[in-house]
Every structure is written in C-alpha cells, then in structure tokens.
Amino acid sequence: MKLIPYKLTIATLLAAFLITGCFSMGRRINADAASQIIVGRTTKSQVAALLGSPDGSTSTGHGDTIWHYNYVGSQMKAQSFIPVVGGLLGGANMQTQSTTVIFNSNGVVKDFQNSANSTETGVNLGASKRPTLNELDSNKRPL
C-alpha cells in the first residue's frame, strides 16, 4: 500500500476547505450495515458486501487482517462568509468516523470497532462570554 505524504494531503485538504468552505474524505459507514457485523460469525466477504472495500488493510504477524474505514468531513458555517466579521463569528462543523474490523486467520470477524464524532469549531464571538478576572486567575498554571 502506497502512502501519500501527510503534508501534501493536509495542504490539499486545507486548500479545498478554504476555497470551497467544505470538504470530505473517505466515505461514511451506514450504522444499520455496521450493526449487522457479528463477532465470531461475519466473514470478510460479508463485511465487504455490507461496508464496501476498506480504505486500508493491514496484516499482523499472528495471521490476523485489519480493515480500516475512515471518514472526515467539514462544512463552514454560513456566518463565516459575512464580509469583515465572518472570521470572528464563523467556524465549521466537522464530522469524523473510524471503523476497524479485525479478522482472524480464517477470515471471520475477531473484533469490531466503530466510532463517530461531531465537533463544532470557531470563535463565535457573538455567543461567547468573556471570562472574569477570577476565572482567569483560577486557570493560571504554577510555574
């Protein structure tokens, strides 16, 4: 498997994000399809039928095979496009999903993990509250 240099990938995604206001990489895994995977019973061909081909595959020294599925998506908030103040009021909504399926040497699912996360980024000064001096003092770290 050939790996694309991370710096090039990050630079490309950042440029796409800044130009279009949104980007995505990978594909989302359908939760209903993922729920049909049963440890100890589901085979590689069944997982491929449910989730499609993996984004990456790794073989372990113990005969196990690990399939990786990843998704990252981000969309700029509409406030980001307001002239002059967009950078202060805007931000982005970001979704990530990671699915890992481990198969034993017989091609049957040995372990399965699926995680998803949604994050909201941005300054959003319109909704923020300024910290008080007491809050600032309590957040100081000792030297």
The confidence score (pLDDT) of residue 31 equals: 86
The confidence score (pLDDT) of residue 143 equals: 44
Helix (H) or strand (E) holding 32: helix 31-34
Position 141 in a domain? no
Position 75 in a domain? yes
* Residue 98 CA: distances (Å) to CA of 6, 15, 71, 114, 117: 18, 23, 7, 6, 9
What span, in angstroms and rounded, lies between the C-alpha atoms of 50 and 33? 6
Percent of residues, the chain, with pLDDT higher than 70: 56
* Model pLDDT for residues 7-25, shown as the tens digit of each residue: 666 666 666 555 556 666 7
* Tally of domains within the chain: 1
pLDDT confidence bin for 93, thresholds 50/70/90: confident
Position 143 in a domain? no
Position 38 in a domain? yes
| Of 94 and 12, the one with more pLDDT | 94
Position 87 in a domain? yes
Q: Which CATH number belongs to the domain containing residue 118 in this structure?
A: 3.30.1450
State the chain's mean pLDDT as an integer.
Answer: 76
The confidence score (pLDDT) of residue 22 equals: 67
Position 67 in a domain? yes
Position 31 in a domain? yes
Q: Domain range spanning residue 103?
A: 22-125
pLDDT > 90? residue 124: no
What span, in angstroms and rounded, lies between the C-alpha atoms of 26 and 47? 17
* Model pLDDT for residues 111-121, shown as the tens digit of each residue: 999 888 877 76
Residues near 85 by beta carbon (within 8 Å), at least 6 away in sequence:
none
Largest CA distance in the chain: 62
Position 130 in a domain? no
pLDDT > 50? residue 128: no
